[in-house]
Amino acid sequence: MARIFFTQTQNVELVVEGGEPRGGSVVETMVWMKSLNELGQEILLAKFSDDLRKQLVEYSWVKLTPIYDSLAYKKKLVWFTYRFPKIFQVFRDQKPDIIYSSIPTWHVFFIAIICKLLGIKHIIRVANDPDVDSTLMPQVPRHQNWMRDLSYKLADLVIAQNKFQFETLKRNFPNTRVEKLFNPIELDQRFLKPKKRMEGYIAWLANFRHQKNLRLLFEVATAFPSETFKVAGQPLNPLDAETEEFLDKLSALSNVQFVGVVKRDEVLEFLNHAKFLLSTSRYEGFSNTFLESMVVGTPIISTSSVNPDGIITDYELGIIYQSAEDLKRVFGDFDLASYLRKSHNCIDFVKKNHDHLALGRMLLSYLN
């Protein structure tokens, strides 16, 4: 049995009372944690020492481990003078076999250094395409990208979500071991049933920010006035100007309903009653909402820029479109038989390729 230490403190939001989880990486990381725990590994999770919330009983298998006080010593060099030494001490005392970093930000550089100093294996999981292609987020300072890239060089294993990430990492870091693993999901047998009818609303599920492209969502909703769009999510503050503008415009449309944040245990039900899941994102790694939609047999509508490894087209899991007008044209040729076939394909694909235990075993095989 290995002791695996997950460093993403945002995951604490899923395991404590009153938690407010945000972001796909939090969801994905929790599924990896569950998978590895069910396969017999010991799971540790970093938390801030000033976070005194009570741990949920159902997550008692997670060993919450304080790393540092998030409010202490808020100075420019805090990582060097306080956080780095505290994390070093925690890793040295806990003696994990593996450190798992869920999001390769510049902070992971410090984790990578500590792992080298202590001789601990370090895994980095790529969370999104900009993690390997800085041109997708040009606002990130160059020195932060440089520190992230050094982390890749120091890592024992970097895991990509899709072919684009894998090939980019292999090209840029030829001396680093890189593997590709699709995102895992728990297969809830209650929902693994293909659709029998083409009915319901069009679901959109994400946090409101520039990446998710609310401009395109507005254009699609405007192009389909007879369809109901249920928009789930919340703003990530501070809002960028474009997102703020089109949130206001979407609010004025009679066929758009904002349903707020959908709780984690209600996501599958929300998608199960949808006719389609709509993605308008400018880029993604491998969206967890795609997997959740596939589990319930709800086909996916996505842009050509968000079609990981071409699976939506290659396996007929939904519709790929270029613009709102292009989607109108495609919808005109869409019939019930095609819809039911895509629904069946979604169930079949997710069962064969995304089972959390099967992927957990693959990950352990890489570590061994």
pLDDT in tens, the chain (368 residues): 899 999 999 999 999 999 988 888 999 999 999 999 999 999 999 999 999 999 999 999 999 999 999 998 777 788 889 999 999 999 999 999 999 999 999 999 999 999 999 999 999 999 999 999 999 888 899 999 999 999 999 999 999 999 999 999 999 999 999 999 999 999 999 999 999 999 999 999 999 999 999 999 999 999 999 999 999 999 888 889 999 999 999 999 999 999 999 998 899 999 999 999 999 999 999 999 999 999 999 999 999 999 999 999 999 999 999 999 999 998 877 899 999 999 999 999 999 999 999 999 999 999 88
Domain count, the chain: 2
Do residues 362 and 283 share a domain? no
Same domain, 234 and 100: no
Is 190 domain-assigned?
Answer: no
For residue 195, tell me if it sits in a domain: no
Whether residue 44 contacts residue 3, with contact meaning beta carbons closer than 8 Å, is answered with yes
Residue 193 lies in a domain: no
CA atoms 148, 153, 158, 161: torsion sign: positive
Please tell me whether residues 55 and 166 are part of one structural domain: yes
User: What pLDDT score does 255 carry?
Assistant: 98
pLDDT of 97: 97
The angle at the Cα of 207, spanning 322 to 112, to the nearest 5 degrees, equals: 100
Let me know whether 102 and 166 are in one domain. Answer: yes
Residues 362 and 349 in one domain: no
Whether residues 226 and 169 fall in one domain = no
pTM: 0.93
Asked if residue 246 lies in contact with residue 215, where contact means CB atoms within 8 angstroms, the answer is: yes
Give residue 22's pLDDT.
83
* Strand arrangement, sheet containing 42-47: 62-66, 42-47, 3-6, 98-101, 121-125, 157-160, 178-180
Residue 300 lies in a domain: yes
CATH, residue 173: 3.40.50.2000
Q: Is 223 found in the same domain as 126?
A: no
Same domain? For 162 and 293 the reply is no
| 364's tokens | 């352990």
Residues 6+ apart with CB under 8 A from 178: 157, 158, 159, 160, 166, 169, 170
Tell me if 196 is assigned to some domain: no
Specify whether 27 is located in the same domain as 123: yes
Q: Which domain holds residue 100?
A: 3-185+355-367
Closest to 101 measured CA to CA, from 192, 13, 203, 29: 29
Q: Are residues 212 and 146 in the same domain?
A: no
DSSP 21: -
Looking at the structure, tell me whether residues 162 and 206 fall in a common domain.
no
- Quote the CA–CA distance of 363 and 224 in Å, as a whole number: 43
- Which stretches of 67-160 are assigned E, i.e. beta strand? 98-101, 121-125, 157-160
61 and 72: one domain? yes
User: Does any domain span residue 243?
Assistant: yes
pLDDT of residue 238: 86
pLDDT at 24: 86
Domain assignment of residue 191, yes or no: no
Cross-strand partners of 54: none
Contact 288, 264 (CB under 8 A): no
Domain annotation covers residue 313: yes
